[in-house]
Amino acid sequence: MIRLEQVSKTFVQKNKETEAVKNINLTIEDGSIFGIIGSSGAGKSTLVRCLNLLERPTGGKVFIDDTELTTLGNAALREERRKIGMVFQQFNLLSQRNALKNVCYPLEIAGTNKKEAKERAIELLKLVGLEDRMYHYPAQLSGGQKQRVAIAKALATQPKYLLCDEATSALDPNTTNSILDLLKEINEKLGVTIIVITHEMRVVEKICTHVAVLNEGEIVEQGSVQEVFLSPKTKVAQEMIYPKQKFDNRTYQGKVFRLVFGGQASSEPVVANLVLKCHIPVNILGAGTEDIGGKAYGQMLLEFPQDEAVIALAKEYLDSIGVHYEEEDVDGI
């Protein structure tokens, strides 16, 4: 388990202080795939570097299991860091080494003999689907193949945790999906806990079990992916999870509501029941579904009549079937 207690990081440059991370409390359970999401400048990369003390926190404590990293000397810290592998956006491969030798590199540094290092590297390249590319150099590999080598390299020393800092940001959508499938497979097969740092909602939706939403260096919301996605409590989370609909310039006669549904409620004929049971005319402005943790979650934009009694009836029905809703502001658009 990784645990952060009141972790902060302040940078000082030209007598100006920038508080990149502020009083972070976070627990990442073993075996999970934990997503940390935020927009550019939210403090994501600083936070992930604090997890293994590549950036030493200005304040607070970082624990791996029961070991507090911030109290360790250099030798002991290096030993603890072997429990954490890292995968980066730009792959961080050595251009003069082929795929096999890139994966061997961290094993060589750790003092593993050449025969064992080669056997381990071949095993990992098979795991990531590159057994036929092990003698290719980075320049001969596609972006997705480079990232697979980087993942194998990060797993070489058999870490307990794998930190992925924007690992799919430089990849096209199809390649991103294949890398995410690979990370999920690694989590399930090897039991490696994976921490995913990203600004992309589709990454969290596809593989994460838990998520923390970061904004201006602070965690504004966290929980299981289903909980946070189904009912985001903060404006930041709402805007990241369900981007605001771009309304056209027409005048809306009624009130517009965003409905978010999942689990049992996703099978309910919501619109049909509003029309048939509640006798409410409904205008569908938009709808979409996402696969989150293997389950369908979705949202709808509905326009209701400008009648408080009718809207109250609609809310009563939506409450009864457990569908989250909120009114959209379309004034002035």
293 closest CA partner among 211, 201, 225, 191: 225
- Taken as a whole, the chain contains a residue count of 333
In this predicted structure, what is the pLDDT of residue 333?
A: 40
Question: What single DSSP character describes residue 138?
Answer: G
Residue 15 confidence (pLDDT) above 50: yes
Strands laid side by side in the 255-262 sheet: 283-292, 295-304, 255-262, 324-327
DSSP 130: -
At residue 12, what are phi and psi to the nearest 5 degrees? -120, 120
Would you list the DSSP string of 140-205? GS-HHHHHHHHHHHHHTT--SEEEEESTTTTS-HHHHHHHHHHHHHHHHHH--EEEEEES-HHHHH
What phi and psi, each to the nearest 5 degrees, are found at residue 20?
-80, -35
| Whole-number pLDDT of residue 69 | 93
pLDDT score recorded for residue 295: 61
Alpha carbon distance 1, 13 (integer Å): 34
Lowest pLDDT segment from 74-83, 91-100, 269-278, 289-298: 289-298
**pLDDT recorded at residue 291:** 63
Gap between the terminal Cα atoms of the chain: 48
Q: What pLDDT does residue 5 have?
A: 95
pLDDT at residue 130 tops 60: yes
pLDDT in tens, 81-116: 889 999 988 888 999 999 999 999 999 998 899 999
Q: How far is CA 91 from the centre of its chain?
A: 18
The pLDDT, as a whole number, for residue 268 is 64
pLDDT value at 284 more than 60: yes
Domains belonging to the chain, first-starting first, are 2-232 (3.40.50.300), 242-327 (3.30.70.260)
Q: What is the average pLDDT value for the chain, to the nearest integer?
A: 87
Helix axes 99-109, 143-155, angle to 10 degrees: 20
Percentage of residues in the chain having pLDDT higher than 90: 50
pLDDT of residue 301: 82
Q: What is the pLDDT of residues 177-229, one digit of tens each?
A: 999 999 999 999 999 999 999 988 888 888 999 999 999 999 999 999 888 87
Greater model confidence, 290 or 145: 145
Buried b / exposed e along 84-108 (16+ C-beta atoms within 10 A): bbbbbbebebeeeebbbbbbbbbbe
Q: pLDDT-derived band of residue 332, with 50, 70 and 90 as boundaries?
A: very low
Going by C-alpha positions, the residue among 152, 154, 130 that lies closest to residue 142 is 130
Q: What is the longest distance spanned by two Cα atoms in the chain?
A: 77
User: Beta 84-88 vs 161-165: how paired, if at all?
Assistant: parallel
pTM above 0.85, yes or no: no
